Amino acid sequence: MASNHYFYVLLCHDNTFYGGYTTDLARRLKEHNDGVGAKYTRLKKRRPLKMIHAEVFLDRSSATKAEAAFKKLSRPQKERYLKQQQAKNQIR
């Protein structure tokens, strides 16, 4: 059975971004908000978290490459990327 692979971005309560990979967006968001997700999001000051972006990929490699590229961006670059993706999705 084929599954989708997602790169997602969370907006943390402290106004930082967290980028990650999953095959189940709802489950992963719940894990993060329950404090059992990634080490970065376990801190209470980061929660609650809101999923603000998700992209679907056909394979894990592509999704994790998108995640890694996002994590290398500066904050202003991340904000531009998210705005561009939002505009792109509105056009569709």
User: How far, rounded to the nearest angstrom, does the alpha carbon of residue 35 sit from its chain's CA centroid?
Assistant: 16
What is the band of 87 on the pLDDT scale with cuts at 50, 70, 90? confident
Q: What's the number of domains the chain is made of?
A: 1
CATH of the domain at 9: 3.40.1440.10
Contacts of 30 (CB under 8 A, 6+ apart): none
pLDDT at 1 over 70: no
Range of the structural domain that residue 62 is part of: 5-90
pLDDT for res 19: 98
Q: pLDDT band at residue 92, thresholds of 50, 70 and 90?
A: low
Taking only the tens place, the pLDDT of each residue in 24-63 is: 999 999 999 999 989 999 999 999 999 999 999 999 999 9
Do 65 and 71 form a contact (C-beta atoms < 8 A)? no
